[in-house]
Homo-oligomer: A and B are copies of this chain.
Amino acid sequence: MGNIAGPEIERLIQLLARLPGLGPRSARRAALHLIRKREELLGPLADAMRVARDRIVTCSVCGNIDTSDPCSLCADPRRDGTTLVVVETVGDLWALERAGVLNARYHVLGGALSPLDGVGPDELNIGALVGRVAEGGVKEVILAVNATVDGQTTAHYITELLSPYKVKCTRLAHGVPVGGELDYLDEGTLAAALKSRIDL
């Protein structure tokens, strides 16, 4: 391709193809779309990426990303510091914030324990979590990790690690997703939903 449209376009396509959700073909389509919308999209996106690269930092308290450290969530005095929600990734934090039912503080692990992939406790932001709990003030740690083997392993490991402290560890409920149809659900979810059934 380099001899068709020049190395600049080829480089743009190659970098776009490294975004999750874009393959070589959709990266080419995206590049053409960007070049067509040079003024409204390509320029602003280049600027937004430059700003993000230069200004976004990881919060030293909770592991969230923001343009300030501590992040705006940690700096917000209205947040309830007695509840700490432990998540695997910043994307999970965003998902919980979109649900909008929590006014708690967060702690981002940066992943889940995964012996097969060589991810041990030292690779995760776990030491800082224990430090925050040891400081006192936290009454409940909600382990909002994924309902995967790695996520659950991580939850149990952290529960064990926090057992010396006077803190309650909880996990998210399992059950039927809101709007979900029973016919499409796996047996594990249905069993969990039956076991945790609620009186009407």
Contact = CB atoms under 8 A, between A and B. Distances in A.
Interface of A: 1, 3-6, 8-9, 11-12, 15-16, 18-22, 26, 28-35, 37-38, 41-53, 55-56, 64-68, 71-73, 89-91, 93-94, 97-98
Contacts of A55: 8
A97 B19 contact: no
A20 B29 contact: yes
B34 A42 contact: no
Contacts of A49: 12, 34, 42-43, 45-46, 49
Contacts of A9: 52, 56, 65-67
Contact of A97 (B1, B41, B98): B1
B21 A72 contact: no
Given A6-B67, A21-B29, A50-B50, 14 more contacts: A1-B98, A3-B72, A4-B72, A4-B93, A4-B94, A8-B55, A8-B56, A11-B48, A19-B30, A20-B30, A31-B52, A38-B53, A38-B56, A43-B49
Copies of the polypeptide in the assembly:
2
A37 B73 CA distance: 23
Given A1-B94, A20-B30, A6 B68 contact: yes
Given A6-B68, A12-B48, A28-B91, A41 B20 contact: no
18 contacts: A4-B97, A5-B66, A9-B52, A11-B48, A12-B45, A12-B49, A15-B44, A18-B37, A18-B41, A20-B26, A21-B21, A21-B29, A22-B22, A31-B52, A32-B65, A46-B47, A49-B49, A50-B50
Contacts of A6: 56, 66-68, 72
B20 A33 contact: yes
Contacts of A94: 1, 4-5, 28
